[in-house]
Amino acid sequence: MTGSGLGVWEIVMGYRSVDGDWERLRAAYHWLTEHQLRSALTYAEAYPAEVEERIRIDEQWTPERLYETYPFMQPPDYT
């Protein structure tokens, strides 16, 4: 999302994590304007396949996959 450092998919994931509660979303992303949040959700409605694909890709990055791909990032006490 332009100027925020966040992707639309991240806002959508946040919205889902608060069960679609608009006030909780606004509180979670308090530094964004209402216009930015509504724009992200509107974009997601207009391009659902694109947003869902990006969410699917992100969900594949589990800690196990991350450490397998980038072993140097694994904390020494990770089991």
- What is the pLDDT, as a whole number, of residue 40? 96
Local confidence pLDDT in tens for the 79 residues of the chain: 667 789 999 999 999 999 999 999 999 999 999 999 999 999 999 999 999 999 999 999 898 999 999 999 999 887 6
- Which letter does DSSP use for residue 72 in this model? G
pTM summary value: 0.78
- What is the pLDDT, as a whole number, of residue 2? 67
Separation of alpha carbons 15 and 26, rounded Å:
9
- Which letter does DSSP use for residue 73 in this model? G
